[in-house]
Structure formats: structure tokens, C-alpha cells
Structure 1
């Protein structure tokens, strides 16, 4: 019989455990034998029992999947008890072919972690995570308020009150005043039209024609309900803004390096209606990033700045070793697939996070700029060759590179007046190299005798 060759892999993490996260129970494996696997519940005392069992077996590092939100409570308990916890993407812990069970899954995770084949996902610090919770909850409230606004517009149209024609936004100053009067029982079109703001383009006479109701009580009742819900959502959004401001102010007040910075207000930056009104994001953002003014980047809005602060944070972005790693985490770099020396695919990988969406929105705003800037010119060059979708992705990636360099290297935004094409870049590089050699050998231009041919 021929001897069978075996390939042995080195154990990188000898005291390692693997946990298969579930909604009702967690399976924990500290080895590959049957007695090395135990099932625990999801209550707080069960999570403590998991930690005590791991400590009793000398476990130092733990790997688990990021399954929904079920992992967060156990993750917090293990971190507080001093374990090194690796949170992995589920696609990196897929089991081998065959019968799939929870026991096999946790053992497979433990095996992969023991031989060092699992890498951890990015997780922000506690303060950034708290800010992210407030901002994401606020974004959800804004989405619900937008749906409520559409329903109000629907019932107004069914009442034959064409408010959507005479005003640009039914949830603006004029629209809300008129909706409130309608819900309070006002039916006189002349009185309703008199509530118009002076900035409205439509005349009062035209508004009277559009504000003649058909008197349906069922539609009016539904409109009242939606209007009350909209007002409640706006109050909840204001409460979120208060908590966000308090949390950001506490972070700035706790650091002398942040408090010492000050910047002038930017009048040219437009404030979106969904941006928190009680927070000076221009000043707080400048202090939060310790003197780095990200709002100088064209197309970079206050909402984009708040998204960057809540999704990654100052300390989080420093975890990425290079700007390319940060852009890759954002899923804005091409995923090149090469076989036989030939590029089979170079598409941007699927999936997105809130920061990627914010940067793509900023890139789209850059593409709509009327004045010529380097980023706008870059956007239009890509747009001409590959289309607008590719231009948005490429410009968003460039924004990610700029943001990483500004924050990590603590540099200001450099906006060159003219873009240098490839031949001009090569010419400039040769010029700098020659100048450097001349300074090294202490040559001057007069030392050379140039011969014209």
C-alpha cells in the first residue's frame, strides 16, 4: 500500500472557540469532538454561562458569525470578560458540502479560527456605535415621515384639494398651515388661500381654485390621522436631534485637542431640510475631526459629514492601514477576477452601507455642479466614456481616498486648478527627478552647455 500524504496546517490560535449564533440558542464548540460542543440559551444568565464555560476551558479567543442582531448581546458579554472576539462575515464561514447542522457549523467555525483562516469585520468604538444608533433611528423616522407625506397628498387629492399643484412641497410652511386649517374644519377656499407664504409663486386667486373640496368625511378623517402621525414623527425627530447634539458635544468637551479648533461658518453650503437644525455641523465636524475641514470638499454636505461621523468615526477610519483598504471596505473598488493572465471581470462588488450611499449621493451632486472643478471634470470624463453609474462609483471612490488622507494624515483639502493628464504627469515627474539630481550634485543650469541641433 502506498503511503497517503497528509497536509497538516499549523494551529495559529490554540485556545480558540467557535460559536454558531441563533435566535433561540447558541452552539459553542471548543474542539472537534462531540463532548467539546454545548448548546446554550439566549437569556442573560445563559450568556454568562457561555463565558464561564469558555474561561473554565482556557479559551482566549472566540469567533462568531454576524447573524442579524443576535450576536450583539453575546459579543458585549465576551468583550467585557476579556475575550478576543472575532466577528466574521457569514460568507467566510460557509460549511463544506454535506449535511448541515448547528453542531457542524460551530465546529467548522472553530476549526477555521484555530488555523487562522478567519478575519474580523470592522466594528466602531462605543461612542460611534451609540451615535450610529441615534442617526439610523432618525433616518428611519424620516423615511416613515416621507411615506406619511405621500399619504397626506393622496387624501388631499381625493378631497379634490390640489395642494400638490400650487405648492412645491405640501410639508413646507404654506402646505402645513393649509393642511392644519383643513383638519380643523376650514372649507372656505379664500381663507385657505390667504395662508400662503409670500415666497409662493402661485397667486392667491389661483390657489382659491385649487382649494375647493368635495367634502368627503372619510377622506378628511384619514387626512387628520396622517397629519397627526406626521406631527408626532417630527417631534420624535427633534428628540433624536437633541440626543445627537448632546452625544457629540460630550465627545468634543472631553478632548482638549478637539475643543481648541474653530472655523468660520460656510454660508455657501446649503442645509438640507432633513439635516438637524439645532446642530452646527460645520463647527462640530471641524472639532470632531481635530481641525480637518471636510466640508471644503465640493458636493460634501452636512448630512454626508454626519453619516461619516456615525458610521465610521474618527478612530474607526484610522483602523484602515491605507486609503485603498478604506475604499475596498466601502465596496467602491473593482473586484478584479483574473484567470490565465486575462481579466475576466472588474465589476464593483455588490452590497452597500450607509456611508457608501452617502458618498455616491455626494458624487452625484458633484456631477451636477455647473462650475468647473477637478472632481466635476473627473466625473464628466468617466461619464463620457463609461456612463453616469460608473462615474458616480469612481467619484465616490475618489472621495473616500480624499477623506482618508485628510483625516489620517491631518491635511487640508487640496483642490488643484488644472488637471494634469498622463503625459503631463510624466513630464512633471521627469522634471522633479532632474531637479532633485541637480540639487544632490550641486549643479546649476549655467554649468551645462546646451547644443542645438
Structure 2
């Protein structure tokens, strides 16, 4: 056959497919590979409606586009609202071959890949989870801003020669804030300031008074007052955000009778962090949200970890993953094995983190710090001894993701399974089982065994 007439063809999976190159100022849309099949649209609401109408005029049923920043979200909502099937894919799966790169070539390449079925959709939570995620991420940003403000408060106290951070563990605690408010109002007497000490404070009034001799700088005092006001504003915003989170969680539970029927006793042994929402019973709400699955039974699992799981993935989101391996792989907690010629070239964990992965790693680190022996803690220590703490945190976080998937999807309650025992214990148990099988196979009696041992 002549080489000029040879063609490589692939089966068209989506005959009425479009590809969109999402941008900050305009969107390029391709419904085919001809120059007349490409059109540019703006980013305003009327432009998005025109884009959707143009697609529907050409009988397009499915659309593929990259998840570029946050520019795709408005377009995605309009397309889905008009009944189009949207495949939101990762940008690394739509990279064009080496050469010239333009917006026109990009949208055509996305359309070609989507039409022959080579693009897979990224994970997207449902609307309730997405709204909860918005509130929780905003709350997390507020906590970061409050922490930054607290560091500035500590800096100006140090410049004023007020070493409150030496005698008080948390300058924004009950004792610290009482003293700082008095300082901002003009109080300079160390004894009077120390008398504001809370009864829970470990240091005595005399020890606190020694650290509160100021140098009287007015500029530093003004800056400290400004930071204190900013800290209190942020705390009020966090409280308002907590009320919204409580409202949406109660809304999700109240509209599902299966969730409302579950109840559980409080766990007094679980420590409540100062950044945990105070007005929400996360132990009960989490038990109801996951329909009778007690994730707080896992050691090292905190209320913040539970809230991250509900807001980042949600109950229906976890069920979208067919296996526990897929769930942990999506979290980028499993090694990405690269094999060529039967040889493993690399088995590193992929780069990148989302908020749920960070929460699980924090839970794994807390498990490693446990003093009492538990199966997960023993697993952590074994990996830590062999490969170091960083690898132990990653391995335990992956183990947690597998446990969570099995508890939520398969409704398996958490217990101390034998899979988490030390390797030598597992080998011993396997050896005993093999010996028992041999005894049953040959029908050996106690007399036969005595003859063998003698």
C-alpha cells in the first residue's frame, strides 16, 4: 500500500462533542476540526448564554473543558443548567504535542480528544457539599489570618518589652487577652496587669508581673491596639461562619429521614481544639451525616478531620469511588509506579495536596504521637523505624483513607483488625494456620504428634 494513502483512524465515541479552551477574558469553542467550526465568546453572562445557544444550534450534547483556575465555574454552571453533559478534565491530560500553542489549537485538540473518548472527568462534589466546602474553606482562611494577626500582636508586645509570651502559653487565651486589653487602655502597672491572671494559668501573679515592665513606646502601643482590633473582628467573622456551617449541616440532615434517626453518645475523650466550631456537636452531626458510621472511633481522628471529610468530599462523593484504592489514589496517597521492561523505574507518591489529604496527614501524625499502643500507632512506628517519619505519615494517611472508604461505602465498623499487626506476628499466625492444615490433612492424632516430637 502506498504510504501517502495510509491513514490511522480511531472510533468516534462522542459524535456531537465540543471542546472549550477556558480563559480569563474569552473562551474559544470548537465543535469540529474545520476553521468554520471555531468561535470566540466573551466571559460575561450574556456571552455564556450565546455560547450555550450556539452549541445547542449545532446539536452538541457533550462538552469538554479544562479546570483552569476558577474561570470554568460560571461557564460550567450555565452549560449544566441547559442540559449539556460537561467533562471537566485535568489540564495535564489535554497537553498538546510539542510545537506551536494557540487558543485555537487548544480548543480543537480538546474537541478531538473528547470526540474519540480519551478524556475522563474530574471529581466534582454535589451542590450541598460544594456550599459546605465554600464555608469551611473561607473559615480556614479566616483562621490563617487570625494566626497571622496573633503573631503580629506577639511581635509588638516583644518590642514593648512585654514578654507575655514567656509566662503565658497562648497570648490570645483568657489571661493573655485580658492583660492585652488592659495594656491597650493605658494600664502600665505590672502588678495590676498580673492581677488579671485567670485561675487556670500555671504561672503565679509574681512571675507574670516580672514580664510586664514596658518601655512605653507609643508607636508600638498604637500598632498593638490595631492588631487587637483586627483579631477581634476576625474572631467575630469566624463565629458568623460557624453559624452558617451549622445551618447548612442541619439542612442536609433534616431533609433526609435516614440521617435524622441516628444518635450517638458524646465522646469526652476527644479533645476539642480551640479552632474547632464551639456551637456544633460534630460528633452527633458526623454520625448522622454518614448515616450511622462512627468515624470518630478511629484513633487520631479529630473533629477538624471529620469536618474536612464532610466538606471536601461528602457522603455521596466517597461513594463515587469504586474501590478504596481509587479513593486513596485521588488523594495522591498511593505510589505512582512507573514500570518499563518489567522493572520498576519509580514508585514515588505524586506531588500535590488538597485539604483532605492534609487533614489525613495531620491525623496520621497525631496517631504517631500516641503514647498507648494501638494497631495504627504500631503500624506507624514500624514504618517510621524502616523509612522515617515522613514515609510513616504518608503510609498511615493512606491506611486511614482505606479505612474511611470501607466504613462509609461497605458500612464496616472500625475495629482492630489483624491486618495491622506487626509483620512477624502475621507470619507467626500464618505458620500456625499452615501447620493446622497439615495436621487436618493427614489426620494426625496426639499420639502421632508425640512420636514425631520424640
Larger deviation, residues 392-401 vs 5-14: 5-14
Provide the residue aligned with 1:28 in structure 2: 29
Q: How does 1:219-298 map to 2 (within 5 A)?
A: 219-298=220-299
Look up the SS of the partner of 1:406 in the other structure. helix
How far apart are 1:341 and its partner, in Å? Answer: 1.2
Give the aligned partner of residue 328 of structure 1: 329
What displacement does 1:426 show?
A: 3.3
1:299 aligns with 2:300: yes
* Conserved? CA contact 2:382–2:422, under 8 Å: no
Alpha-carbon distance between aligned partners in 2 of 1:57 and 1:434, rounded to the nearest angstrom: 71
Three-state SS of the structure 2 residue aligned to 1:38 is: strand
Q: CA deviation at 1:366?
A: 0.3
Structure 1 Cα separation of the partners of residues 429 and 134 of structure 2: 45
Distance change >3 Å, CA 432–CA 317, structure 1 → 2: farther
CA distance in 2 between counterparts of 1:399 and 1:266 reads 20
> Are 1:127 and 2:128 an aligned pair?
yes
Q: How far does residue 6 in structure 1 lie from its aligned partner after superposition?
A: 2.2
3-state DSSP of counterpart to 1:28: strand
Corresponding position of 2:107 = 106
| Mapped contact 2:19–2:31 kept (Cα < 8 A) | yes
Q: Show CA shifts across 1:126-153 (max 9, x none).
A: 0000000000000000000000000000
Match of 2:29, SS state, is strand
Tell me how far apart the structure 2 counterparts of residues 448 and 428 of structure 1 sit (CA, whole Å). 16
Q: TM-score, normalised by structure 2?
A: 0.95
2-structure distance, mates of 1:137, 1:118: 32
Q: Secondary structure at the match of 1:154?
A: helix
Unpaired stretches in structure 2, ≥5 consecutive residues: none
For structure 1, the residue ranges without an aligned partner over 5 or more in a row are none
Partner-residue secondary structure (3-state), 1:390: helix
User: Residue 313 of structure 1 aligns with which residue?
Assistant: 314
Contact conserved, 2:378 with 2:422, CA < 8 A, in 1?
Answer: no
Comparing 22-31 with 3-12, greater Cα deviation is found at 3-12
Q: How many residues align?
A: 447
Q: Deviations over 1:242-267 (max 9, x none)?
A: 00000000111111100110110000
For the pair 1:403 / 2:404, whether they are aligned, the reply is yes
Task: Give the secondary structure class of the aligned counterpart of 1:309.
Answer: helix
Q: 1:423 aligns with which of 423, 427, 432?
A: 427
Secondary structure at the residue paired with 1:343?
strand
Residue 7 of structure 1: CA displacement?
1.8
Partner Cα separation in structure 1 for residue 28 and residue 338 of structure 2: 36
8 Å CA contact retained: 2:175, 2:196:
yes
1:432 and 1:170, CA in 2 relative to 1: closer, same or farther beyond 3 A? farther
Counterpart for residue 81 of structure 2: 80
* Distance in 2 of aligned mates of 1:31 and 1:39: 14
Shift of 1:450: 5.5
Q: CA deviation at 1:430?
A: 4.9
Report SS of the residue matched to 1:19: strand
> Is the 2:283–2:303 Cα contact (8 Å) retained in structure 1?
yes
Q: CA offset at residue 105 of structure 1?
A: 0.4
Scaled by the length of structure 1, the TM-score of the pair is 0.95
Give the structure 2 partner of residue 172 of structure 1: 173
CA distance in 2, matches of 1:31, 1:376: 56
